């Protein structure tokens, strides 16, 4: 609907910029547990399971190792515990993707329950692995994930298997590396404009 959600680590909380250019009251500012955040981390929007027209806001809280769920209007809905995340994304196929800092894997969670479905990746410099991932984005249909690896100076694209494919008699890999973009390449470094894989 044109609103922009900004994680403000300085002031704290999630600030909402309206299409008119004005800011709505922030939510998740430091305060009372569980509705408030110890520290605001990455933010993502995603559909509400079973409600295609609705969306909710996923906010990582690195201070309390949680993923906190809010309505689009900032009303606290739920919190999933024991999540040490560096980045988060959601897709329309009922999945939430979290960059798990403790394992260097992309953890794929069920959007309805927060239960872990599968994970891929790990720590390393080989293709398909990460040295310091910082951000993830997933296509709306949940078929492709892009992961920014700051220390590895690359962005890797993964093709993701659907639930139907994973439930078949001979399931494919959960995630298959499609392409790795080396950010040291000349086309990504023009004068002072240099890519780092940060976002």
* DSSP H stretches of helix in the chain: 163-166
Distance of CA 57 to the CA centre of its chain: 11
Record the tokens describing residue 171, joined without a space: 């399931």
CB proximity list for 145: less than 8 A, separation 6 or greater: 89, 97, 106, 136, 137, 138, 139, 157, 158, 160, 175
pLDDT, tens digit, 9 for 90 and up, residues 175-185: 999 999 998 88
179's tokens: 């392409």
Q: How confident is the model at residue 49 (pLDDT cuts 50, 70, 90)?
A: confident
Query: What are the structure tokens assigned to 49, written together?
Result: 């399971």
Tokens standing for 75?
């009303």
Rounded Cα distance between 135 and 164, Å, is: 27
Q: What percent of the chain has pLDDT over 90?
A: 76
pLDDT band at 45 (very low <50, low <70, confident <90, very high): very high
Tokens of 168: 């078949």
* Mean pLDDT on 122-133: 96
The model's pTM is: 0.92
The band of 42, judged by pLDDT with boundaries at 50, 70 and 90, is very high
C-alpha 76/C-alpha 165 separation (Å) is: 34
């Amino acid at each position: 609907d044109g609103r922009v959600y900004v994680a403000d680590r300085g002031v704290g909380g999630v600030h909402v910029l309206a299409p008119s250019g004005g800011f709505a009251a922030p939510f998740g500012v430091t305060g009372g547990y569980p509705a408030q955040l110890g520290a605001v981390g990455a933010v993502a929007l995603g559909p509400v399971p079973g409600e295609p027209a609705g969306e909710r806001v996923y906010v990582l809280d690195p201070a309390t190792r949680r993923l906190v769920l809010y309505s689009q209007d900032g009303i606290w809905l739920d919190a999933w515990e024991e999540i040490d995340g560096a980045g988060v994304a959601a897709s329309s196929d009922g999945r939430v993707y979290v960059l798990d800092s403790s394992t260097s894997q992309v953890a794929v969670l069920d959007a309805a329950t927060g239960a872990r479905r599968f994970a891929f990746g790990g720590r390393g410099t080989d293709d398909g692995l990460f040295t310091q991932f910082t951000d993830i984005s997933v296509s709306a249909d949940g078929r492709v994930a892009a992961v920014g690896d700051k220390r590895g100076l690359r962005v890797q694209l993964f093709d993701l298997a659907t639930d139907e494919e994973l439930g078949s008699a001979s399931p494919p890999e959960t995630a298959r590396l499609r392409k790795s973009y080396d950010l040291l390449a000349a086309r990504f470094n023009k004068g002072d404009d240099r890519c780092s894989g940060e976002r």
